Amino acid sequence: MVLFSFKSIGRPVAFVNGVKRHFMSALVLTFCMSPLQGATLGRLSLSDMIGKSTSIERAKITSSYAAADGPVIYTHYKLQISEQLKGFVVSEIVVPGGTASGIRQFFAGAPQFQSGDEFVFFLWTSREGLTQVMGLTQGLFAVGSGGGADPTVTRPASQELMLDTSTGHPVKDETLVMKLSALRSQIKGVSQ
């Protein structure tokens, strides 16, 4: 199958071959540069997240709304904090993406929450004052629904492409499961 045909109309064959080569290179480059569905994340260890977080808290999602901030739409989530583990109290976080003024934006790897979801949130605050989850879904430990004084917390392995931050090579993320008391101890140990 021929996509394009170049004919030499009074031009040297070398010129036509050069045009073909540049055109095909541009075509290949265009397809290679097309956006892919997915995010590339630097894998953060638990110690990295503890050290880099400006706030860590156990909280439930109570409500949400979306609003544009310049060209980006953020979904704002209100939090009901039940335990402060590090830093200052944060009662609202933002996640890139959402629907505002009839426009919907989607960011691969960005978490989505429902009212009543309970997590241990590893958070960071930007210079602009927006508080977000550390490493997209990496900074979320779901609190088990069994209740009790020491529930299990779980952070599922991310399905996004993960890179080792020291080598830049792709790595496979792992699910983390532990008791809340063990997570508290690690946070306390790294924060001191």
Look at phi and psi of residue 38 and say left if phi exceeds 0, alpha if psi is from -120 to 50, else beta: left
pTM of the model: 0.76
Q: pLDDT per residue over 88-121, tens digit each?
A: 999 999 999 999 999 999 998 899 999 999 999 9
Ordered domains of the chain (ranges, CATH): 40-191 (2.40.50)
Q: Can you say how many angstroms the Cα of residue 189 is from the centroid of all Cα atoms in its chain?
A: 26
User: What pLDDT is recorded for position 164?
Assistant: 82
Q: Which whole-number Å values give the CA distances from 174 to 158, 170, 171, 188, in the listed order?
A: 8, 13, 10, 23
User: What pLDDT is recorded for position 35?
Assistant: 42
User: What pLDDT is recorded for position 7?
Assistant: 47
Going through the chain in order, the beta strands assigned E by DSSP cover: 40-42, 55-69, 72-87, 92-96, 98-100, 103-105, 118-125, 131-133, 140-143, 152-155, 161-163, 170-171, 176-179
Residue ranges, the chain, pLDDT below 50: 1-8, 15-16, 19, 22-23, 25-37
Tell me the C-alpha distance between 62 and 1, whole Å: 58
